[in-house]
A and B are shown apart, each in its own frame.
Chain A
Amino acid sequence: MAATHDRTLPGSGHRVWTGVRAHTLAFFRNPLYLVLLVVLPLIEIRFAGSALESLPTAAFPEMDASLMTTGRLFGAIYATAVFGGIVGLFQRLSADETDRRLIVAGSSPSRLFLTRTLTVLGITLVVATIATVALVWTETVAAPALVFAVLGGSGVLYAFVGLLLGSVLSSELEGSLALVFIVDVDVILATGLLPTDLFVGETFPLYHPYQLLQTAVVDGGLADGHVLPALGYVLVTGVAATLVYRRTASTNGGGA
């Protein structure tokens, strides 16, 4: 029998904070994760820049930044999105059984979701910080704070996508496959590595964040026309992830 009265108890915020702290500490206690969080974005940014530099500019006539800069931006946004997405996916899937039991024991799905989400967002912002530092280190960045905000937003967007996929798919392999195909195509289209005149390219989630990132790095300004669509994607995926989590957690655990 599910008890849901804890939502009204005082100290709910404290419980969320305790959960977030426990999940985050468990994550960062693994030294390999720490190493990968630092090393992989650095490698991606550094090597993507040098690899793209050797491509012919004639093949990408509409690319606004140089190929090396594009490569580094590609690495930064890809690293943030992939880490955010995978952490979201694994937080959701690996916690599934635990969360079900907690719901049966009386925890509210909303609080559990909030705990998982805040953990994922915290880790994602750490990745965004590392990617921003790596970008500033390798590239002349006009507006570092703006770059952090855009990378953080891109990571959060994909963290929600990961949480969403984790709610609708039953295994980590399925989720990882789905996520890799979504994020790879998204980044390749957003950065212009697949130059296309089709409108479909602009409908992918990272298209607007990439435009913001490019402007922030090259000009230091805010690409006004892309702010609202980018925030809109974050909002929509956030709402979808929440609704789907509530629905699946309630169905499985019966404690809504």
Chain B
Amino acid sequence: MRTSHVQTAIATGLREYARTPVLLALLVVAPAYLVGLFGYAAPDTLVPVDVPNSGQTMVPLADVLTVLGVVLVAAMVGGLVGLFVVQSATNADGRLVIAGFAPASILLARGTLVAAAATATVSVSMAVALVVFSPANALGLAVAGLLTALSYGLVGVVVGTQVDRLAGVWILLFAPLLDVVLYQNPLAAETKTLATLLPSHAAMRLAVDAGFGSGLDWSPLVPAVMYFVGTAVVATVLYYRRT
């Protein structure tokens, strides 16, 4: 794996982003719109939230939905970008391999592009979230958002290697909503077994603790990172088989 190859592939991908101003605008405006709307439109009614290390805590609904919004946006953008990065690169990557690029270099470059989009989205989401709400630990919330985006980005890569774009988009529109809004909803009184198997489970626990806990417990980071690594391994294997 040559560093120059990785750099070239990353630079090409970033240039492609830069050439699509509408996409860049969407990556900034859409997260701001969703997180801002959740924080602004929801009432301040106090609702019970099961905070991992602080027990049941009464917090304003608007704050709960802001935290939910940060994680949801990360999952939606990460998944779609992962899918399209692997789909749009399919033909080009095969040619790059023939031209002498190591598949690992290309995969690293594609992963970096997903990470760049994830970082941009989470940064915007956090900036908007901090306007409407003061989390107990902003860094923890940002890390939770980033891990969700990266995990979903890899889920997008996995899906993208298996199905075409149309089917992939359907799957990646349904999955984050089902996972984040319905199964990991911080307001849920009980955690369903299925919820523990979904990509944003550990990240959402971290996000809720970071949002409302009295002292942040970073332990959910371990399963979140493990999920990310596990998905990365699967994505790498499938990508290698494809190229």
Contacts and interface: CB of A to CB of B under 8 A. Distances in A.
A72 to B, nearest CB: 11
Contacts of A197: 43
A215 B196 CA distance: 34
Nearest to B40: A198
A228 interface: no
Contact of B169 (A54, A61, A86): A86
Contact of A90 (B72, B165, B188): B165
A174 B33 CA distance: 16
Interface stretch (A6-14, A129-137, A179-187, A244-252): A179-187
B47 interface: yes
B170 A59 contact: no
Contact of B42 (A56, A79, A196): A196
Interface stretch (A44-52, A143-151, A231-239): A44-52
B127 interface: no
B177 A171 contact: no
B177 A184 contact: yes
A36 B47 contact: no
Nearest to A27: B166
Contact of B23 (A78, A171, A180): A171
Contacts of A177: 23, 26-27, 30, 76-77, 80
B92 interface: no
A52 B178 CA distance: 10
Contact of B182 (A47, A181, A195): A47
Interface string B180-204: 0111010111101011000000000
Contacts of A174: 20, 22-23, 26
Contact of A48 (B61, B165, B178): B178
A194 B41 contact: yes
Contacts of B228: none
Interface in A189-245: 189, 193-198, 200-201
> Which of A44, A188, A195 counts the most B-chain CB atoms under 10 A from its CB?
A188
B124 interface: no
A58 B58 CA distance: 12
Interface string A47-72: 11011101110110100000000010
A25 to B, nearest CB: 16
Nearest to A91: B166
Interface residues of A, number: 51
B13 interface: no
Interface of B is mostly: helix
Given A180-B173, A194-B41, A171 B20 contact: yes
A139 interface: no
A228 B30 CA distance: 30
A59 B187 contact: yes
A32 B47 contact: no
Nearest to B195: A51
A198 B41 contact: yes
A36 B188 contact: no
Contact of A58 (B27, B47, B84, B88): B47
A170 to B, nearest CB: 7
B48 interface: yes
A55 B76 CA distance: 22
Contacts of B169: 86, 90, 172, 176
Contacts of A40: 170-171, 174
Contact of A47 (B65, B81, B189, B194): B194
Given A32-B163, A185-B37, A201-B41, A71 B20 contact: no
Contacts of B171: 36, 40
Given A40-B170, A188-B181, A194 B42 contact: yes
Contacts of A105: none
A132 B164 CA distance: 27
Given A59-B61, A86-B169, A174-B23, 6 more contacts: A30-B167, A47-B178, A54-B188, A86-B173, A172-B84, A196-B41
Interface of A: 30, 32-33, 36, 40, 43-44, 47-48, 50-52, 54-56, 58-59, 61, 71, 78-79, 82-83, 86-87, 90, 169-174, 176-181, 183-185, 188-189, 193-198, 200-201
14 contacts: A30-B167, A32-B167, A47-B183, A48-B178, A51-B178, A51-B182, A56-B48, A86-B173, A172-B84, A173-B23, A176-B169, A177-B80, A180-B173, A194-B42
